[in-house]
């Protein structure tokens, strides 16, 4: 029996060393994700003939998402960290929740959209491709830093009498080291989110009712993360599912309901808006 193909993780760089300065690669990729999201949202606004501050929208959503991601992780995913470490757990480089970022980011975008007189749900539609593409870039940061968002240990897969050896990777030099080959789930999520982002961008340019793009985002992103969770290291909490999977299931249900609601509304005329956007004071 052949051993699985394994990479040792020597190409993983938690920090870039520039003289005496150490730049965390996760933070670098997070900044790139925010800049990319700004660009994609700005293009979406221009394509819809809307004038709004994409930089301000994404910046506010990004800060809210980071705060929400950490709070969600400490409250729901790993409350033991907070009991042991206290408030210092808030400043750890690892320990973030995708759904915490999602919900807090959504709330921030809704507020920004209403303030810009675009409408909260319409803003979420416009921001959905940017969110998916930005998430994919953020997962590259998880991979480069080796922050612990890995999969379970690689095991041979037996199917129809054939044994497969999935590709695996160890992360001995990561922020959270692991010395056995595991599924590199951040790479899987990057591929999935970029594919979802490309699909949503294409659909955004086609006639659609308000809420339809956001509904698709919730269904597609929630399903993608739900499936990836089967090979991630997160603990099972209910019915053999992780906390993230239960939250994903809820997101998919909300997405399906949103699609059902949008299907009963008239499609927007591309390039038209119901009311002009107010100029900033």
- pLDDT tens digits, 184-197: 999 999 999 999 99
Q: Residue 89: is its pLDDT beyond 70?
A: no
Confidence of residue 180 (pLDDT cuts 50, 70, 90): confident
pLDDT at 151: 87
Pair of tokens at residue 86: 């206290």
Q: Which of 201, 204, 212, 205 is nearest to 266 (CA)?
A: 212
Assess whether pLDDT exceeds 50 at residue 2. Answer: no
Full DSSP string of 5-49: PEE-STT--SEEEETTEEEEHHHHHHHHHHHHHHHHHHHHHHHTT
- pLDDT-derived band at 276 (thresholds 50, 70, 90) equals very low
Task: Return the pLDDT at 67.
Answer: 74
Q: Is residue 175 part of a domain?
A: yes
User: Is residue 268 in a domain?
Assistant: no
pLDDT in tens, 34-60: 889 888 988 898 888 888 778 877 777
pLDDT at residue 268, rounded to an integer:
76
Between 246 and 272, the more confident residue is: 246
In a domain, 81, yes or no: yes
For residue range 114-132, list pLDDT tens digits in order: 887 888 888 889 989 998 9
Kindly state whether residue 155 falls inside one of the protein's structural domains.
yes
Minimum mean pLDDT among 28-32, 81-85, 256-260, 265-269: which range? 81-85
Mean per-residue pLDDT, 126-139: 91
- Burial state string for 11-22 with b = 16 or more CB within 10 A and e = fewer than 16: ebbbbeeeeeee
Residue 82 located in a structural domain: yes
Instruction: Pick the closest to residue 63 from 94, 105, 27 (CA basis).
Output: 105
* Mean pLDDT, residues 3-8 taken together: 48
Tell me the average pLDDT of the chain: 79
- Does this model's pTM top 0.85? My answer is no
Bridge partners of 264? none
Please check the confidence at residue 70 and state whether its pLDDT lies above 90.
Answer: no
262 burial level (CB within 10 Å; 0-12, 13-18, 19+): buried
The answer to whether 212 and 191 are in contact (CB under 8 A) is no
219 within some domain: no
Beta bridge partners of 21: 18
Using CA atoms, how far apart are residues 281 and 277, in angstroms rounded to an integer?
12
Instruction: List the end-to-end C-alpha distance of the chain, in Å, as a whole number.
Output: 70
3-state helix, strand, coil in the chain (%, to 5): 60, 10, 30
pLDDT band at 81 (very low <50, low <70, confident <90, very high): low
Is the pLDDT score of 88 beyond 90?
no
Q: Name the helix (H) or strand (E) containing 125.
A: helix 120-145
137 vs 145: which has the higher pLDDT: 137
| 243 C-beta neighbours (distance < 10 Å), count | 20
Query: Is residue 257 one of the residues assigned to a domain?
Result: no
Q: How many domains does the chain have?
A: 1
185 occurs within a structural domain? yes
| Distance from C-alpha of 216 to C-alpha of 226, rounded to nearest angstrom | 15
More confident residue, 63 or 91: 63
Backbone dihedral angles phi then psi of residue 236, each to the nearest 5 degrees: -80, 140
Whether the predicted pLDDT of 31 surpasses 80: yes
Copy the structure tokens of residue 135.
Answer: 């998430």
Of 134 and 8, the structure prediction assigns the larger pLDDT to 134
Owning domain of residue 73: 6-198
The dihedral of CA 257, 242, 12, 72: what is its sign?
positive
């Amino acid at each position: 029996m052949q051993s699985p193909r394994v990479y040792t993780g020597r190409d993983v760089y938690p920090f870039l060393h520039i003289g005496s300065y150490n730049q965390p690669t996760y933070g670098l990729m997070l900044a790139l994700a925010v800049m990319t999201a700004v660009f994609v949202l700005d293009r979406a606004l221009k394509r819809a003939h809307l004038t709004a501050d994409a930089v301000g929208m994404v910046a506010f959503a990004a800060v809210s998402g980071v705060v929400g991601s950490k709070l969600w992780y400490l409250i729901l995913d790993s409350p033991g960290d907070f009991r042991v470490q206290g408030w210092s757990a808030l400043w750890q480089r690892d320990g973030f929740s995708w759904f915490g970022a999602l919900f807090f980011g959504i709330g921030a975008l809704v507020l920004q959209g209403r303030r810009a007189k675009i409408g909260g749900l319409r803003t979420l539609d416009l921001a959905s491709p940017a969110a998916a593409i930005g998430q994919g870039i953020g997962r590259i940061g998880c991979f480069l830093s080796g922050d612990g968002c890995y999969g379970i240990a690689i095991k041979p897969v037996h199917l129809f009498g054939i044994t497969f050896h999935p590709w695996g990777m160890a992360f001995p030099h990561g922020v959270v080291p692991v010395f056995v080959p595991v599924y590199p789930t951040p790479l899987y999520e990057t591929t999935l989110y970029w594919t979802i982002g490309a699909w949503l961008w294409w659909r955004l340019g086609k006639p659609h009712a308000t809420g339809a793009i956001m509904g698709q985002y919730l269904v597609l992103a929630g399903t993608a993360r739900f499936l990836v969770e089967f090979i991630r290291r997160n603990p099972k909490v209910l019915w053999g599912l992780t906390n993230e999977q239960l939250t994903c299931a809820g997101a998919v249900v909300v997405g399906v309901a949103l699609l059902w609601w949008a299907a009963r509304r008239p499609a927007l005329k591309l390039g038209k808006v119901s009311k002009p956007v107010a100029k900033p004071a």
